[in-house]
Structure 1
Amino acid sequence: MSTRQTTTDPLSRVEDRISHRFTDRSLLEQALTHASALNNTQTGGSYQRLEFLGDRVLGLAVATMLHRNFPRADEGELARRLNQLVKRETCAEIAQDLKLGDAMRISQSEAQTGGRQKTALLADICEAVIAAIYLDAGMATAEDFVRRQWEPRMMTFSGPLRDAKTTLQEWAQARSLPAPTYDVVDRSGPDHAPVFIVAVHVERHAPAEGSGSSKRIAEQAAAEAMLRREGVWSE
């Protein structure tokens, strides 16, 4: 595959970081294009269709990798490991590592509200790039990209294999208690970097709080705080 001479070209820098040179470079350009960068006469060309495909390619590639590396794990453990690896936060971390946000085509207004650092957008762009690689060079090349980026996280993951909210709900049910409830206690920070504080309530137990950049993350943090306080999860 031929190399390009223009090292200052943003797309070339992305290709360097992802270790793939595109035959059809328009795929990479589309993967990095936010709808806000398109004018009113354009009906396509954003990352969204690619993100839809990339989500499926990523899931299959990671599932295959887990099946190969954890031959003794049952279906439940494999599913929990998969969820940890393909969740939005992990995809966004990889997008940050590859500096995909720097190469995104977004409107000035979107950029001014922190679009290049938004977790959801970075995660979507990451999946769109996976789809672009898949369409450009096939599944084997896409799997190779996923392996390089996700395998280190797969092999070093040491957290709980069950998410905190599910574990807390099962813990409450085992004690014949109603399901936990969650309330947003506070929201602070700018729109592009919000901080939520959420309290979780379980009957006959004191509430516990957690914080995060979204309500979902804060709920997980609150559930984890209660699980650790009650000795269900150790430090």
Structure 2
Amino acid sequence: MDTDTAEILEESLGHQFKDPSLLECALTHPSWSLDNDKEGSDNYQRLEFLGDSVLALVLAEKLYHLYPDEREGMMAKARAALAKGSVLAKLAREAGIDQCIRLGASEAQSGGRNLISAQEDACEAVIGALYLDGGLDAARNFLLNAYGDFNEAVKQALANDNPKGRLQEWAQARDPENPPEYRVIEENGPDHQKSFAVVVLVDGSVSGNGVGRSKKEAEENAARSALESLGE
């Protein structure tokens, strides 16, 4: 990543890295490491692991203070909704993280930069890098700015938390005999890091598609895609 690109991304993240190699590592997809004969640690997977925990802590802290009268169950549901892959991928795109991911040649040619899973992973890795370079404050500042109006972000995330149920209701209102049908069309990656591609059919026609780390996540993303295409 060249200096100008790094500076633009750092401005978007609200943090200037003391150790630029952390940011570079957070943006390195495993396919790039393989193509360049690098060790397995020279990609974002370890930072992604750390960032996932930092994200959970920042969200839990914010929800705890924002909703002093709410029970644990509601806050846990809100945290899970805000940390979904589709939400993190959106944060990554808005911050410009997706455009900075270093990909292997074949992964880049196949559109890997546009995969929700890759965008989500890079977002979590950047959170981990921010934490290591600037402490919890750096990670917190980026996340709270990225989510924007937090109360509104919670409402929207919870509203989108059950896309399969919403699509089911929409389809049943039109034709109770023809529920949405989900089909796995592609399955990639090793057992510990699977990626699934799913399409959903409504009235016999493909209405949405989605990718995820599990069949459930891919189906949810396909249902979201279908709801958008159906104007719902």
Task: Tell me, yes or no, whether TM beats 0.5.
Answer: yes
Do the aligned partners of 1:211 and 1:218 also contact (CA within 8 Å) in 2? Answer: no
Q: Deviation digits for residues 148-198 of structure 1, max 9, x if unmatched?
A: 11242542424448646799xxxxxxxxxxxxx99635759xxx9955116
Deviations 1:104-155 (A, max 9, x none): 1111211111111110000000000000000001112211111111242542
What is the match of residue 149 of structure 2? Answer: 152
Contact 2:198 2:219 in 1 (8 A): no
Give the structure-2-normalised TM-score. 0.71
- Pair 1:84 & 2:81 matched: yes
Instruction: Name the residue aligned to 1:99.
Output: 96
Query: What CA RMSD, in Å, does the superposition of the two structures yield over aligned residues?
Result: 3.4
Name the SS for the 1:197 alignment partner: strand
1:53 aligns with 2:50: yes
Whether the 8 Å contact between 1:198 and 1:210 is mirrored in structure 2 is yes
Give the 4+ runs in structure 1 shifted more than 6 A. Answer: 164-167
Cα distance in structure 2, aligned partners of 1:24 and 1:77 = 38
Question: What is residue 25 of structure 1 aligned with on the other side?
Answer: 20
Counterparts of 2:117 and 2:160 in 1: how far apart (Å)?
23
CA distance in 2, matches of 1:161, 1:194: 20
- Tell me which amino acid in the other structure corresponds to 1:101: D
Question: 1-side partners of 2:99 and 2:161: how far apart?
Answer: 34
Structure 1 Cα separation of the partners of residues 119 and 9 of structure 2: 14
Give the greater-gyration-radius structure (CA).
Answer: 1
Out of 119, 126, 131, which is 1:129 matched to?
126
* Counterpart position of 1:184: 182
User: Residue deviations 1:46-95, cap 9 Å, x none?
Assistant: 00000000000000001111111111211111111111101111000000
Larger helix percent: 2
Q: CA deviation at 1:211?
A: 3.8
Please name the residue that 2:216 is paired with.
216
Structure 1 stretches lacking a partner, 5+ long: 1-6, 168-180, 200-208, 226-234
Report 1:162-181 matches (<5 A).
163=162
C-alpha spacing 1:166/1:184, structure 2 compared with 1 (3 Å): closer
1:196 alignment partner in structure 2: 199
Give the number of equivalent residue pairs. 196
In structure 2, the CA distance between the partners of 1:212 and 1:34, relative to structure 1 (3 Å rule), is: same
User: TM-score under structure 1 normalisation?
Assistant: 0.70
Q: Residue 131 of structure 2 contacts residue 139 of structure 2 at CA under 8 Å; is this kept in 1?
A: yes
Question: Contact 1:210–1:219 (CA<8 Å) still a contact in 2?
Answer: no
